[in-house]
Chains A and B, each alone.
Chain A
Amino acid sequence: MTDVIKEDQVLDCSGMLCPMPVVKASKAMKELQSGQVLKMIATDPGAPPDMEAWSRQTGNELLRSLTEEGKFIFFLRKK
């Protein structure tokens, strides 16, 4: 059983293709305070490796990534 992550904001990037999901995530993250969590939803098949790379490069932690009903869901914590 995994802990429930409570997000502070939700960003739905369904239907968007590279590079829009990372662009939108970057913008949304700038609106958050340090420690707050962004839940991001995407359908771009490139999103899982992209968000992992984005997290590694920006230092915003990827808390969890999962697939639900064909959608990719990411929980990202602002550094």
Chain B
Amino acid sequence: MSVWKTNDPDTKKILYVQTHGEKDPERTATPFFLATAGAAMDNEVCIYFTMNGPQCLAKGNGDKIVIPRKGGNGKELKYFIDQAQEIGVRLLVCQPSLDLHGYTMDDMIEGVEMIGGAAFNDMACDADAVIGF
């Protein structure tokens, strides 16, 4: 049983991979807003968070991570996360990358799903596009 939900052959599946977190706030928002645009085009979209990626999904970090913008007025990452979740983008993490930061699923925001390395590779093989950050 694939992690992908669609049975419609016309619905494309896009998998984003986010490896960046707290150390690189300027690299955290883009996967969320590209995924949001992808979902707005009636595709099924997931983002897989590995390496430092799970830091983006830790409770409280959405407000703490601010995307810098020239001239000030940075925006909190939470804005981009909410936008993505609202349009149906699914957020996935794997166990080893949680362990890396001492996280458990209880540290993750609402809606985050756990998958393993095999499921990730299976999703990648079934996807129409895999995009890594």
For A53, list chain B residues within 8 Å (CB): 41
Known contacts A23-B83, A23-B87, A26-B87; A57/B42 CB under 8 A = yes
Within 8 A of B (CB), among A17-68: 18-19, 22-23, 25-26, 50, 53-54, 57-58
Which chain A residue has the least Cβ–Cβ distance from B43? A57
Cβ B37 vs Cβ A23 within 8 A: yes
B100 at interface, CB cutoff 8 A: no
B13 CB, nearest partner CB in chain A, Å: 13
What DSSP secondary structure best describes chain A's contact surface?
A: helix
Cβ B42 vs Cβ A19 within 8 A: no
Residue from A19, A22, A23, A50 whose CB has the most chain B CB atoms within 10 Å? A19
Cβ B41 vs Cβ A18 within 8 A: no
Cβ A22 vs Cβ B33 within 8 A: no
A74 CB, nearest partner CB in chain B, Å: 14
Cβ A22 vs Cβ B42 within 8 A: no
B131 at interface, CB cutoff 8 A: no
Within 8 A of A (CB), among B33-51: 33-34, 36-37, 39-43
For A54, list chain B residues within 8 Å (CB): 40-41
List the 6 closest A-B pairs by CB distance, nearest first.
A19-B37, A26-B40, A57-B41, A22-B40, A23-B40, A19-B36
- Chain A interface residues toward B at CB < 8 A: 18-19, 22-23, 25-26, 50, 53-54, 57-58
- Chain B interface residues toward A at CB < 8 A: 12, 33-34, 36-37, 39-43, 83, 87
9 contacts between A and B (CB under 8 A): A19-B36, A22-B40, A22-B41, A23-B36, A23-B83, A26-B39, A50-B37, A54-B40, A58-B41
